[in-house]
Structure formats: C-alpha cells, structure tokens
Amino acid sequence: MLMHIQAVPPARLSLVPLLPAQGGMSGALRVLVDMDGVVADFEGAVLRGFSARFPAEPRVELAARSGFSVREQYRGLRRDLAAKVASVYESPGFFLGLDPIPGALEAMQEMIRMEDTEVFICTSPLQKYEHCVLEKYKWVEKHLGPEFVERIILTRDKTVVSADLLFDDKDTITGAEPNPSWEHILFTCCHNRHIQLQPPRRRLLSWADDWKGILESKRRQ
C-alpha cells in the first residue's frame, strides 16, 4: 500500500494510506469524519468570538450563513470585515475552545468500537496554521482521548486519502484526485442547509440522524 507521512506536530508522526487502495487492509469499512462543523462547533464559536471582539460591527447570524467560507460572506458585508472575522479563528485558543457538536463524541466513540470499521478524523488545517494544528490535536485528546489522537489525518487535500465514506460539511470537495474512493456524505451545518442534493448524493442531518444506517448501506455495496 502506498503510504504518506502526514503533517503532524514534531513529536508525533504517523502513516496515512493514500489512493489507490480502497477500504481497510482487512476489508473493514473505512470512515473519515471531518472535524470543524461536524465534530467541533466552528461556526458557533466564530459568531460568538466576532460578536465579543467587534460588538459594533455587522455580523452574520447562523441562520443567515450561506457558502462554506465564513470569511467570504463577511467580505460581502464589507471588505475589511473579512480580515476581522479571520482574526477570530486564527487567534490562539480558538480551536482548543470549540464546543463539541451535539452527539458527535458519542457517535465517534461508538463508531470506533464497531466491528469491521476503521474511523479516522480527517481535517484540513488553516493556511495560517501556527495555532490550529497543535490545538486540533489537543482538542481531540481532551474530548475523544488518546486513541483518537492516533487517528488524526491532517491534509489540505482529502481526495487523496483512501476510504469508503467521508462525513464533511463542505458541499464540494475537490483536489488532485478527480475520483476519490470515498462517498461524500454532506453533514448538515448552518451554511449548507439550503443546498438541494441530487441523487445519489446523501446528507446526514445531525448525529441524531441514522448514521449507522449509512454505514450499513455502504457495507452492502
């Protein structure tokens, strides 16, 4: 199997499977779960942080969010607001302080213990990664434990990671591989609720939704 050294803090290096392999080495179902907006509440923290830091500025409420990039939506309100909202999520402590998405921690703990299932957290760091990368590792260790720290994949291109399923709130995921091995399950977040998916694409409304049914249907394919 082709292997790739993932970008991680200096004290921890691990190997990540790349294409063209599909599924786990043992034939297990391999599941990738995005972090921000799927397991950790990025959007809520951005709004709270922006409101606290810039109380006099116009802001985008969660009900009004549209489009994956919060920075670009704030730029649409006023050009200088893009840098201001970015300063919120680029600041030290932001990623470590994110609240868990309701039901996410329980689902992840259940998933990792399912028979014939491999689960990884697959997350993209910010381009300004000074605080982001280390805090993502610390967040996972704090909320999910050391077992999941060994299952973090940090990459700017998720298309090259081999898996069967990817749960992600980004509506369109592109990269070097035009035909990723995984099926993208759109996880519902404030910015993608309005998107109408065309079959055979699927959506998970929340962790209270039937995520187990999605895994089982994929096993049968």
Active site residues: 34, 36
Which residues, including other chains, have CB under 8 Å from residue 65's CB and lie 6 or more apart?
43, 73, 190, 191
Q: Order the strands of the 165-168 sheet from edge to edge.
A: 152-154, 117-123, 29-33, 165-168, 183-187, 202-204
- Cα 208–chain centre separation: 17
The phi and psi torsions of 89 (rounded to 5 degrees) equal: -85, -5
4 in the Ramachandran plot: left (φ > 0), alpha (ψ -120 to 50) or beta?
beta
CB atoms within 10 A of CB 148: 21
**The token pair that represents 43 in the structure block:** 């959007």
d(CA 8, CA 154): 7
d(CA 88, CA 119): 30
d(CA 95, CA 121): 15
CB atoms within 10 A of CB 90: 17
DSSP run (H or E) holding 123: strand 117-123
